[in-house]
A and B are shown apart, each in its own frame.
Chain A
């Protein structure tokens, strides 16, 4: 036991007393947030104003589209969207939103196009040549029969992949056509505006106790949790592999094996590095809690905090438990790989297998967030290898019945026992095999004989 503790301490210090530990502790939460929000921000970045030529024979749609694309209209819509997720908007927030909307929303410059009595094909060819000449970025040809249901609006753009602009424009066009059709049906503009106002969509989740809860923050929080566990498992798994390979490469293994049981050495390594990972997670959880507590004191943020899913101490305990389950599962695989190969580079060729499984588990998180009670969610949160990443996400999204958590825990704990046993057998033979990488049949033999 004394030796085991010495091993645990040695491995723990080796990880924690390194600069890379401090750096990753500071950097990873930042990266996780970036992963969650950067794609959104990048897509919403304002591009150059989009010049769209509108060939509108009737002349009725163009003003309506222009109106729909105006800044005021955009803000109205943004407010509407905000109303759905937040109960109240005070004055200063309104001002902020106005600025944000103006700066974020895509600018459109609508250019009226004079048909000059030309036919459809000629117009099209001419417009295409204008796009090619970079006089305009896109064009819309409004058909003569725009008020019929079969009408087909031709929209061509140089930026075909800019789906945000395209969607915004399509929305504006849809609304314009709808209002025009209603106007043509002799409905007054006021009634049109009234009739086409969006509904007030008050969406909230209900938990198993029937209590209403605001679930808009769950998605982001679950995503961040899933990502953090995935990244931590991948990093610490690889750290285990590198440590095992170092001891094999430098032949330290020979000295270690002449001093302690290989099983003790391997388990000590797993426990030591696992505790280091737990330390890091605890720092993150602790600072997140401190940050939330601080924000709770700032009145401005109360509203936003209301959307943060409530995380109880029981949940945190479960997250850390699942992190440990995941750690021991994957770390024993990485240790096994490390003792099979002769260098870290060679190990990388095998490491992709556990990494792929982890990645798959991470992708399953999306299915779990969408429907935490589906059959798929049930299976992926009890199955070995996937559960350590998917279960915490499911617990956060909607805590499953206790028996499912217990079952998932038992299945994964049993898998760990089996894996550690197998890894220990490979480890004690593999660590003394120098020169060449072990083949799979060889490893199989070690597992059966050793």
Chain B
């Protein structure tokens, strides 16, 4: 991670552990989140994401360690600066849209008049203005999702925590939501974004943290993470290269795709050295590209390996 100024750090999690009886849900977890950036909180189901988020939001308290938001330990007062969209969505079934939103806003300490303005603004923004006085049960799932999102931003939070925000949304609305999130980012607010969808995370996140089985697996800026994995993957197309590619001291594994091959370099091998060897062997090379691993590859490699040893 690039050296961050102290003042940039909005959320600081230090050595946090949370146990439920015999089960340790989160173990010795530490990370920092910087303001104005989107933080991807990644991990398989049951890794401890929701438990961590609940501690950040102040719903539960860590057994050990500390969580600080803007330099202060998490408290009920700080809850008003956080907007939280839980993975399991919930709205009052029989309440009108405007009434729900007003209640959620008031719970976050927003005055009635201010809430009224914000509600109109956001309903307009989300193209839901004509649904203002409808009951939740009259809304489609996607609309409910958007209402839920509005309820998390009405009080203009400084820290936005979104747990799987795109589930249940059609692609058009996903794009729309991504736009809205970009705005938040540009206002120097912090967004924590928890998901299983690596492609979305890859697109949106500046920094990531991957946890698995209660522990941190890797973390840092997306660039750093990728770089630490990259440089050993090559997309290759060409002929007459079989002999070189079979050399285990150069290429560890070869995966054949439809019209090209993916080469994993052996440890410590410079891509340029392989290219020279191929040319030297008289191979005709039509494509030789150093590629980055996708976040998905990293996820599968990091989590998949551990998963096998899971009881």
Contact = CB atoms under 8 A, between A and B. Distances in A.
A259 B107 contact: yes
A338 to B, nearest CB: 15
Nearest to B50: A254
Contacts of B106: 2-3, 6, 10
A246 B107 contact: no
B91 A250 contact: yes
A45 interface: no
Chain A contact surface mostly: helix
A197 B151 CA distance: 81
A432 interface: yes
A432 to B, nearest CB: 7
Interface of A: 2-3, 6-7, 10, 14, 246-247, 250-261, 432, 434
A251 B89 CA distance: 6
Interface residues of B, number: 25
Interface in B88-135: 88-93, 95, 103-104, 106-109
A250 B93 CA distance: 9
B234 interface: no
A6 B59 contact: no
B246 to A, nearest CB: 53
Contacts of A251: 86, 88-90
Contacts, number: 61
A253 B89 CA distance: 10
B173 interface: no
Contacts of A253: 90
Q: Give the top 4 A-B pairs by smallest Cβ distance, nearest first.
A: A250-B90, A6-B106, A251-B90, A259-B107
Contacts of B41: none
Nearest to A433: B20
User: Which of A6, A250, A258 counts the most B-chain CB atoms under 10 A from its CB?
Assistant: A258
Interface in B63-82: 76, 79-80, 82
B265 interface: no
B150 interface: no
Given A6-B103, A256-B107, A258-B82, A432 B92 contact: no
Chain B contact surface mostly: loop
A252 B59 contact: no
B90 A258 contact: no
A375 B254 CA distance: 92
Contact of B107 (A247, A254, A260, A434): A260
A256 B84 CA distance: 10
Contacts of A432: 54, 59-60
Contacts of B84: 254-255, 258
B153 interface: no
Contacts of B58: 258
17 contacts: A3-B107, A6-B106, A10-B103, A250-B90, A250-B93, A251-B86, A251-B90, A252-B91, A252-B92, A254-B54, A254-B88, A255-B104, A257-B59, A258-B82, A258-B86, A260-B107, A432-B59
A425 to B, nearest CB: 14
A259 B91 CA distance: 15
B210 interface: no
Given A3-B107, A10-B103, A254 B93 contact: no
Contacts of B76: 260-261
Interface in B7-63: 54, 57-60
